[in-house]
Amino acid sequence: MRKTRFSLLILMTCSALLVMSGCMATTKNLDPEADLHYDASYDFSDKNRIVERLVTPLLSAPVFPVQAKPILIVYPVINETSEHISTGGITDDIRMKLIQSGRFRFINERQRWNIEQETDYQNQGYVDPAMRVEQGRQLGADYILSGTLRSIKKKQPKQLRLTKKERIYYSLDLTMTDLKTGEIVYADQAELAREASQPILGW
């Protein structure tokens, strides 16, 4: 009897340890450049692929001569997908790569309000006149860089099966608009398509 109780106690202890180990949280580092996906939805590796796909041909576009270094102003990528996607990362990465290329110059539109506040402060008499930033000397943009992110999602029709599949198509349209004429002088598109499947039963 004692042996049976002891064996039962060991079995219960082992079972509890297995359950506890399964519930413990774990953390590991991932390579941000790796192509990793848990499902069909948009994730950080998609951002890297989209940015690379759009920046590479833009840098060699004959519309923008190497010597000219046109001045760009970037407006946020518009999210027209059904997902909550922060497109600011796409905008920032495109701008960063273009700046690092040395082919373009950029106006920091996000700091316009702060620049206005600072120049107003300097001209209220608090700053040495010789050190004041002269108003009316800011650069004017030559082009507006903008984009739109869209998606199409398709699910398998209901039927008897062991797994369910989902397909998602993403496209990001990038355009460059001449600020003087309003003409679109450059346009490109990056596309992604993915299919994900998962078992009907599971957790």
Task: List the structure tokens of 43.
Answer: 């994730």
Nearest to 168 by CA among 52, 81, 44: 81
pLDDT at 74: 93
Model confidence, pTM: 0.69
Rounded to the nearest integer, the mean pLDDT of the chain is: 80
Q: For residue range 181-199, what is the model confidence (pLDDT) as tens digits?
A: 999 999 999 998 877 666 5
Contact 91, 160 (CB under 8 A): no
Q: What share of the chain has pLDDT > 70, as a percent?
A: 69
Contact 123, 133 (CB under 8 A): no
- Average pLDDT, stretch 1-5? 60
pLDDT band at 22 (very low <50, low <70, confident <90, very high): low
Binning the chain into helix, strand and coil, the percentages to the nearest 5 are 35, 25, 40
Q: Which of 9-18, 104-113, 120-129, 130-139 has the least mean pLDDT?
A: 9-18
Q: How far is CA 119 from the centre of its chain?
A: 33
- Average pLDDT, stretch 147-166? 72
pLDDT band at 36 (very low <50, low <70, confident <90, very high): low
From residue 163, alpha-carbon distances to 53, 84, 167, 198, 200 in Å are 32, 26, 13, 5, 5
Beta strands in 121-199 (DSSP E): 143-155, 163-178, 184-199
For residues 35 and 156, which has the higher predicted lDDT (pLDDT)?
156
pLDDT band at 45 (very low <50, low <70, confident <90, very high): confident
pLDDT at 66: 76
Contact 103, 59 (CB under 8 A): yes
Task: List the structure tokens of 182.
Answer: 């309003």
Q: Which of 76-90, 106-120, 150-164 has the least mean pLDDT?
A: 150-164
pLDDT at 145: 96
> To the nearest 10°, the Cα dihedral for 152, 59, 52, 143?
-50
For residues 49 and 37, which has the higher predicted lDDT (pLDDT)?
49
Contact 9, 1 (CB under 8 A): no
d(CA 176, CA 100): 19
